[in-house]
């Protein structure tokens, strides 16, 4: 099923922003969002359409991929998007067909995933998600634009990204990334509160490893006022027993408090991830395919400190890793290796 909305009659490359009067001379970027009718989708789509993902001069076409029973809800969201009259939004396609959704895609946000339900083992979860991320990887391989960038949000995000990547052999493998930016932002906020500083006073925050409770938010690399954050905090007990578990288990704490998982903050982090990937930043956290840096086995999609520029990224090299951090990184990476081996055993990669 395919529904199109929006204003397909617009000329493709010259658009007038009716709010600023400025001429936008760029071809619309095709942005596909899977799980578009879900909670994160609802928090994400309006920000993409208003220019927060790619900047105020970049028009977008939205492609919403959903499972068939959720198409009606996606149509409702598309009606609301229309009702915002966003100057940058050039068209909306709603479909339950992955090939249609990813045809010509420039930015793919893979949000829809199978949540863990009662009685489900980890293997069952990985298998169910394999059924989603394998065909999506194949559809990206078949139809994506040459410059495609993929962000996987749906959990288990790192391993889902690996599954999709492994089924898209014609797409450069580094284009498949997973989201640890929410963890990064959570770490900034917790540290800023502890030190009584602004989040903007903190530099070089890093999340290592998996987007799971084993992740390592690293205060020995982060800097505040010329010191490492660990020195500025000067409280190893807080760092170990409070900061790390608070950041790593924040997702569960939000579910406990809200009765639903993080949605607006997750959407915000997805926006941050892609915006920085496209526009450049000196230091952030992204889960990316390892090239063997910092002893992380090659190919594993693990979170690293990265620098981005001109639409590409590199893992920041040359950091000295202390013993405490080494053990934490190794533990999270070991979990990723286990997940990779499990999906291999299931024949998903």
Ligand X SMILES: NC(=O)C1=CN([C@@H]2O[C@H](COP(=O)(O)OP(=O)(O)OC[C@H]3O[C@@H](n4cnc5c(N)ncnc54)[C@H](O)[C@@H]3O)[C@@H](O)[C@H]2O)C=CC1
CA dihedral 32, 36, 42, 48 (to 10 degrees): 0
Is 36 marked within a binding site? Answer: yes
Is 250 marked within a binding site? Answer: no
User: Rule CB under 6 A: which of 242-301 touch ligand OAA?
Assistant: 251-252, 254, 261-262
- In the complex with ligand X, the residue whose CB is nearer, 15 or 93, is 93
| 162 lies in the site for ligand X, by CB under 6 A | no
Instruction: Considering only the stretches 22-30, 31-39, 55-63, 201-209, report the one whose residues sit in contact with ligand X under the rule CB under 6 A.
Output: 31-39
Q: 189, 216, 342, 191: which is closest to 287 by C-alpha?
A: 216
* Least distance between ligand OAA and beta carbon 249 (Å): 9
95, 155, 158, 166: which one binds ligand OAA (CB under 6 A): 155
Taking residue 85's Cβ as centre, other Cβ atoms within 10 Å add up to 10
* Least distance between ligand X and beta carbon 227 (Å): 29
The answer to whether residue 184 is catalytic is no
What does the alpha-carbon distance between residue 259 and residue 44 come to, in Å, rounded to a whole number? 20
| 266 lies in the site for ligand X, by CB under 6 A | yes
What does the alpha-carbon distance between residue 177 and residue 238 come to, in Å, rounded to a whole number? 31
Is 307 marked within a binding site? Answer: no
What does the alpha-carbon distance between residue 264 and residue 168 come to, in Å, rounded to a whole number? 30
Is 112 marked within a binding site? Answer: no
| 34 lies in the site for ligand X, by CB under 6 A | yes
Size of the site for ligand OAA (CB under 6 A): 7
What does the alpha-carbon distance between residue 60 and residue 109 come to, in Å, rounded to a whole number? 14
What does the alpha-carbon distance between residue 69 and residue 71 come to, in Å, rounded to a whole number? 6
Identify the three-state secondary structure at position 216: strand
157, 191, 286, 288: which one binds ligand X (CB under 6 A): 157
Identify the three-state secondary structure at position 186: helix
- In the complex with ligand X, the residue whose CB is nearer, 41 or 289, is 41
| 67 lies in the site for ligand X, by CB under 6 A | yes
The H-or-E segment that residue 317 falls in is: none
Ranked by CB distance to ligand X, the top (closest) residue is 38
What does the alpha-carbon distance between residue 277 and residue 331 come to, in Å, rounded to a whole number? 27
CB 43 within 8 A of CB 264: yes
Is 328 marked within a binding site? Answer: no
38, 87, 130, 137: which one binds ligand X (CB under 6 A): 38
Burial readout 96-114 (b: 16 or more C-beta within 10 A, e: otherwise): bebebbbbebbbbbbbbbb
DSSP strand pairing (60-65 vs 89-95): parallel
- In the complex with ligand OAA, the residue whose CB is nearer, 61 or 155, is 155
CB 264 within 8 A of CB 149: no
* Least distance between ligand X and beta carbon 232 (Å): 26
- In the complex with ligand X, the residue whose CB is nearer, 39 or 189, is 39
Catalytic (active-site) positions: 211
Q: Which residues bind ligand OAA (CB under 6 A)?
A: 155, 182, 251-252, 254, 261-262
Which residues sit in the known binding site?
A: 35-41, 116, 122, 129, 136, 153-155, 186
Q: Which residues bind ligand X (CB under 6 A)?
A: 34-35, 37-41, 65-67, 70, 111-113, 115, 132, 153-155, 157, 179, 182, 211, 261-263, 266
Which residues sit in the known binding site for NAD(+)?
A: 35-41, 129, 136, 153-155
């Amino acid at each position: 099923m395919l529904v199109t909305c929006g204003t397909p009659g617009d000329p493709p490359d010259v658009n007038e922003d009716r709010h600023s009067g400025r001429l936008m001379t760029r071809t619309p970027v095709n942005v596909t969002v899977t799980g578009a009718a879900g909670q994160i989708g609802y928090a994400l789509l309006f920000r993409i359409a208003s220019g927060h993902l790619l900047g105020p001069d970049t028009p977008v076409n939205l492609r919403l991929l959903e499972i068939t029973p959720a198409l009606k809800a996606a149509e409702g969201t598309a009606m609301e998007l229309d009702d915002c009259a966003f100057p940058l939004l050039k068209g909306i396609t709603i479909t339950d067909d992955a090939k249609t959704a990813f045809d010509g895609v420039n930015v793919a946000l893979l949000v829809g995933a199978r949540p863990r339900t009662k009685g489900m083992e980890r293997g069952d979860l990985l298998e169910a998600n394999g059924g989603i991320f394998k065909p999506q990887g194949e559809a990206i391989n078949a139809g994506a634009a040459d410059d495609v960038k993929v962000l996987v949000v749906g959990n288990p995000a790192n391993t889902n990204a690996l599954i999709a990547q492994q089924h898209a052999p014609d797409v450069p493998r580094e284009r498949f990334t997973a989201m640890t930016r929410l963890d990064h932002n959570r770490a900034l906020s917790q540290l800023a509160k502890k030190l009584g500083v602004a989040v903007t006073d903190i530099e070089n925050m890093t999340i290592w490893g998996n987007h799971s409770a084993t992740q390592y938010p690293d205060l020995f690399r982060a800097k505040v006022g010329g010191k490492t954050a660990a020195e500025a905090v000067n409280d190893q007990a807080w760092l170990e027993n409070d900061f790390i578990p608070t950041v790593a288990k924040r997702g569960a704490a939000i579910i406990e408090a809200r009765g639903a998982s993080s949605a607006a903050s997750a959407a915000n982090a997805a926006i941050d991830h892609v915006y920085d990937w496209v526009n450049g930043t000196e230091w952030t956290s992204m889960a990316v395919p390892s090239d063997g840096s910092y002893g992380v086995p090659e190919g594993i999609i693990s979170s690293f400190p990265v620098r981005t520029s001109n639409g590409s990224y590199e893992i920041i090299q040359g950091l000295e890793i202390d013993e405490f951090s080494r053990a934490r990184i190794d533990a999270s990476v070991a979990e990723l290796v286990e997940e990779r081996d499990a999906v291999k055993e299931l024949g998903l990669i």
